[in-house]
Amino acid sequence: MRCTPPNRILDFTIRARSYAARHGYNFVGLGPAEAVRQLTDLYWQIWGAHRQEPGRLNGHVSAPKVGVARQVFVADSDAEALAVTRAAHRDWYGSITKLWHAHNDHSIDGLFAWETATQHETILFGSPARVREQLTRLIEVSGCNYVVGAFAWGTLTHEKILRSLRLFAEEVMPAFSGSAAPMA
């Protein structure tokens, strides 16, 4: 069993995003911010060309959400976040690649590797200040107006996830939303 080659994945992503844009659907993508930017620009170009067409499937939406998804972990310090994130990623990586590896297929490994994730900031981790910087850069480079954060992944413990969410809500989000969401 072979995985879908990356160029076929990109072709599918372009077709899906084009369809979503034509009809005004919200869309969330993955990958390096620079690659997401190309797809985001394509989305807005297609959406602009079709936004007034009658019969659009989601025509009632005046401003679609065009987003990017990221794994997120916030800790009190960059060093703590690095240690926890690296360990959780190792376990997540084993899970996400398990079926490919079971079929002796390692062609997808580079897409999920730690080095790739840190180089392209597809995992946002660090102190609240560092995560704010990463998030600011992600929004600017990707051109997205929406970010989906995955806070529970790999082998992060329930306690670490809750702490990360609290730090994110109280010390990262206010820089983007104007107010922190209360945590129970």
* pLDDT tens for the chain, residues 1 to 184: 344 445 666 677 788 888 889 998 999 988 999 999 999 999 999 999 998 888 888 878 888 999 999 999 999 999 999 999 999 999 998 998 999 899 999 988 888 899 999 999 999 999 999 999 999 999 999 999 999 999 999 999 999 999 999 999 999 999 997 544 443 3
Under 8 Å between Cβ of 32 and 120: yes
Q: What's the predicted TM-score (pTM) here?
A: 0.85
Question: For position 81, what pLDDT does the model report?
Answer: 98
- Count the domains in the chain: 1
Q: 184 in a domain, yes or no?
A: no
Q: 30 in a domain, yes or no?
A: no
State which residues form the domain around 169: 67-177
> Residue for token digits 């490994």?
109
Q: 98 in a domain, yes or no?
A: yes
Alpha helices for the chain (secondary structure H) = 6-23, 33-50, 78-96, 98-102, 109-112, 114-119, 128-142, 158-167, 174-177
- What size, in residues, is the chain? 184
Q: 121 in a domain, yes or no?
A: yes
Q: 161 in a domain, yes or no?
A: yes
